[in-house]
Amino acid sequence: MSKSDSPLQKPDGKTIIGLTGNIATGKSVVRRMLQHLGAFGIDADGLTHLAMAKGAPAYRPIIRTFGRYVLNDEEQINRQRLGSIVFNDPEALKMLEAIIHPVVRQAIGALIERSPQNVIVIEAIKLLEGSLSDYCDVVWVADAPKDVRIARLIDKREMLPKEAKRRVEVQNPQTDKTAKADLVINNGLSYEHTWEQVRNGWIDMFGAPEGAGANSSASELSVRRATPSDARQISEFLNKINPKQSLSRSDVIGMFGQRAYFIALRDDDVEALAGFQIENLIVRITGLQFAADANQAEIVAPLLTELEEAAKTLQAEASILLVDEAAYNGLENHFKALSYNALQPSEIRISAWREAAKELYQDSQVCLLKKLRDKRILRPV
């Protein structure tokens, strides 16, 4: 048995939460909320996509097995074409899994081994169908009613109703997963309701989460990671800088279901806010916003530095910062001093980073890239 085929070894002193659920049950929302509480989250399905990227460990074996038909014009693996083969042929699916699963297991093991966090969350839609569940201390299952999941696929993934219904119904029954759960998160109502369940589940396992900590002296700038408990203060800040909107505390908690935030405060007032998402070992920073009277030049370096340090502990390999042109023009030298390089998303050489930038980039923005790690977990072979 090769090293990559060997089973994962449970690390000492770390608790592994396995997180699963059928399509559109909100697994990623639950994972992000656990990250707000201090866990290190791993998206196993996202690692699968990275493993198939051009030059990554599974890229050439997949081409050798399934042929160049699965490539697009840029010689990236077209997952839709590959899916059309394997999801209609059980033997072909087994061949693909024999290529992908050892690579992903090895990546998960490496990420956990070097993670400083004591709580690890592994999100995988097929957690219970494979060997990953044997590696977990507890299993959490995200659940939502069938009609809610169909509506999410139509709204968020822009599927036609017929296709959304088919995608939900073709999967194994959700009850197969909930029956094996140590904790079921009912994720069919509000984000606030989901947050309460996640937080209570954390408290039952680990006790009360650590607080954000006290700010520095009143006149000093303080930068820290925000949590959903800061939702009211953040909503007041956002409504102040954009009076046309009227965000409630619940609205902001909903925003925490999609991304995390760092805030800069002085005299307990929010002076700046930066939203970020860490997916597939890439941190994407968006929504960099300042109070009208804030000293942006004073704030931007400590804000981004603290955010980057948090991203590094979550093992992000690159930071992509998307800012409006006006903000960039006023802070260009400060971004350069922080080693952010402005370029078009299409100019980014590493495909996973390039696609991550393209997904959120808008024409009115400047794309800035900074490498955070020299050694990538799924580097080219």
Q: What pLDDT does residue 215 have? A: 43
Measured between alpha carbons, how far is 119 from 207 in angstroms, rounded to an integer? 13
Which residue type is seen at 74? E
Paired strand residues for 274: 262
Paired strand residues for 224: 263
What letter would DSSP give residue 71?
A: B
Tokens of 46: 């996202």
Residue count (the chain): 381
Q: What pLDDT does residue 55 have? A: 85
φ, ψ for residue 78 (rounded to 5)? -85, 105
Rounded to a whole number of angstroms, the CA Rg of the chain reads 21
Tokens of 267: 């005299």
Measured between alpha carbons, how far is 256 from 232 in angstroms, rounded to an integer? 12
In sequence order, the 6+-apart residues with CB closer than 8 A to the CB of 32 are 41, 256, 257, 258, 259, 260
Q: Mean pLDDT per 10-residue run, the chain (381 residues)?
A: 55 91 93 93 91 91 94 90 85 92 91 92 91 91 94 89 87 91 94 93 89 51 92 95 92 91 92 93 93 93 95 93 92 95 94 91 94 80 42
pTM tops 0.85: no
Contact between residue 352 and residue 50 where contact means Cβ atoms under 8 Å apart: yes
Q: What pLDDT does residue 379 have? A: 64
Structural domains of the chain in order of their starting residue, each with its CATH number: 3-206 (3.40.50.300), 222-371 (3.40.630.30)
Tokens of 374: 């020299």
Q: What pLDDT does residue 211 have? A: 55
Contact between residue 19 and residue 142 where contact means Cβ atoms under 8 Å apart: yes
